[in-house]
Structure 1
Amino acid sequence: MEAAIDVVRRHGGTCRTRDLREVGHYPRSIASAVAAGSIERARVGHFMAPDLAANAKRAIRVGGRIACASAAEILGLRVLNPSHVLHIEVGEHGSRFRRARDGKGRILPTTSRKHFEFHWAGTGAPEGALPSIVEVLTQAIDCLPPLDALCMIDSAREDVPWIGAAPKLSVAEFEQLLNGLSERGRELARRSTTLSQAVGETVARERLREAGIVARPQVGLPGDYFADLLIGDRLVFECEGYSAHGTSDAFESDRERMALLRACGYIVLNFSHKQILGDWESVLSTVQFVMRRGLHLFHPE
């Protein structure tokens, strides 16, 4: 007989009592598996894997599965504004929702908006504990502010050659994403890039675009360096997080890089993640000041 946990995993991390019974499990063996901790009882008639993320378990207890921004965090995508509510995907006709902490009691979607954001899916209950990355991004584009969704898409597509890690979203999956979106959604997704490495880079690139400024990501520079963003010919826009310069070696390497670029005629503007997200007006005015003087071009007209 197939182990109860194997049945749960085969169904994507969560299953119903009937799925266990189909392979020969009945109340006694199910109760033994729960008592042994190999599976967990989510709510009446539903079970889940014990190693699921806490929020994924909460969503299953309620009566659906984790979705949108909440699922994006589990998938390791960069999130601009972490959600204060739990996003849950539920069946179109779902109505019997339970408490997230224990899968008991009853809750109503209309009276629980302080804690949950419901995504109403197709006619049946969603399968598995976690939606696919394409489904998560589709939900984000439909649900979140455009900039928040764009940060997630950039994160999913990140494929810079010097890191060597495969992107979370493949080229084929990106095409699948585009094909399932509205025209507005496709226009947003097409503004994404495979070359963004941080939320600050995405935010800066998009806000510069809104100001009519073209900023190209990860452009090669002298010394085998790359600009986070390059404006014009020589204005290097750097998005700096604290962790990137937290060691003496990183600090020294950064000083060496800045000296070489300035010696080669580049203008380098360094902005912190906090400045880009919280003081954009000052950041933009600095960039515009440099551009008005023509310093972003090697040969101003």
Structure 2
Amino acid sequence: MDVLDLLQREHHGVARAGTIIAIAGRTEMLRLVRVGRLDRVCHGWYASPGAFPPARLAVAAGGALSCVSALATEGIWVPDTREIHIRVNGHTRRNPRTSCLKECANPGRVLPTPRSVDPLGTALATAAGCVTDEELVAICDSLLYRKKCDRDDLEHWLKDCRRSVRELIDWTDGRAESGTESLARFRLARRGFKVRPQVGISGVGHVDLLIGRRLVIEVDSVSYHTDVPAYNEDRRRDLILAGLGFIVVRLTYEHVMYGWDTVLPNILAITQRRDHLRDPRGFARR
């Protein structure tokens, strides 16, 4: 494999000189620099032409891409942010051109930055000090859902965090298919609801959340349910669920992220009437 291809695949296109030398040798590294195929980012660090821009910015600032920005590179759900989150190693060089950077700190002692992008464990521990409790639970759910780790890994990665953070692991569930679903589940569970995720219903498939016997909460995300076929399929499922006797509440991304104050009272109105406890006709769990 070409040196630059390997650098891009394994290091997001940005690596220490020692790493490149270990891969290709000093002579080849110097040749690549000479012909313009490697660019010096800062002392001891080089980047390929196709380097991931946030990783390059993080290294130029004396740190590594970390926190939610590093997690996002692995396809993990993270809350929206316009900032690039970096973890610094104590030798940060602030630059006016990098004002979009947000410096985050990992718990415990300051760790070195051997790579341009932090590994998942370091990124998660760093994010624990940067995001809200519900966002951290949603991130952990995403890690579990995507098989990036198991519960033991979460406990190990967060072992240096404060106790209240470690206790959030008990609230995680790897069945959630989206961050908004995780947020809704966590909020409802903290209100005392017994919420079951991804329950199978005959003729419909799996629903996002089930409260009681028949209150179905379907949570749309930005990435899904917006194209015409998905929209039509969602309405087909809703129609069947209604025919089976279920109460269906469909929440949009905006409902969860910006309008929860209008969502919760309506769910409470349903549950206070105990409508969710009645047996739906034809209910059958797969």
Instruction: Classify the TM-score, shorter chain.
Output: 0.7 to 0.9
CA distance in 2, matches of 1:245, 1:19: 43
CA distance in 1, matches of 2:125, 2:190: 23
**Counterpart mapping for 1:37-186 below 5 A:** 37-82=36-81, 84-91=82-89, 94-95=90-91, 97=93, 99=95, 115-119=101-105, 122=109, 125-158=112-145, 167-170=147-150, 173-177=153-157, 179-186=159-166
TM-score by length of 1: 0.78
- Say which SS state the counterpart of residue 244 (structure 1) adopts: coil
Q: Does 2:254 match 1:274? A: yes
Q: Does 2:256 match 1:291? A: no
CA distance in 2, matches of 1:99, 1:271: 42
Structure 1 152/125 Cα, relative in aligned 2: closer, same or farther at 3 Å? same
Q: 2:192 aligns with which of 212, 234, 253?
A: 212
Q: Does 2:21 match 1:20? A: yes
Q: Deviations over 1:271-296 (max 9, x none)?
A: 21101211112111110111111110
Task: Assess if the C-alpha contact under 8 Å between 2:214 and 2:279 holds in 1.
Answer: no
Structure 2 stretches of 5 or more lacking a match?
Answer: 281-286
CA distance in 2, matches of 1:96, 1:248: 48
TM-score by length of 2: 0.82
- Residue in structure 1 matched with residue 177 of structure 2 by the alignment: 197
CA distance in 1, matches of 2:155, 2:192: 28
Structure 1 stretches of 5 or more lacking a match?
Answer: 103-111, 159-165
How much has 1:206 moved relative to structure 2?
Answer: 1.8
Task: Assess if the C-alpha contact under 8 Å between 1:7 and 1:15 holds in 2.
Answer: no
CA distance in 2, matches of 1:7, 1:247: 36
Q: Which moved more, 1:268-277 or 1:178-187?
A: 178-187
Count matched residues: 277
Report the residue type matching 1:25 in the other structure: R
Q: Deviations over 1:76-96 (max 9, x none)?
A: 2112232x43322222xx235
CA distance in 2, matches of 1:234, 1:245: 22
Q: Deviations over 1:108-127 (max 9, x none)?
A: xxxx7x74314267466311
- Say which SS state the counterpart of residue 185 (structure 1) adopts: helix
CA distance in 1, matches of 2:206, 2:104: 42
How much has 1:171 moved relative to structure 2?
Answer: 5.3
Structure 1 19/230 Cα, relative in aligned 2: closer, same or farther at 3 Å? closer
Identity percentage over the alignment?
Answer: 27
- Say which SS state the counterpart of residue 245 (structure 1) adopts: coil
Task: Assess if the C-alpha contact under 8 Å between 1:87 and 1:119 holds in 2.
Answer: no
CA distance in 2, matches of 1:30, 1:186: 43
Task: Assess if the C-alpha contact under 8 Å between 1:42 and 1:61 holds in 2.
Answer: yes
How much has 1:210 moved relative to structure 2?
Answer: 2.9
CA distance in 2, matches of 1:4, 1:256: 51
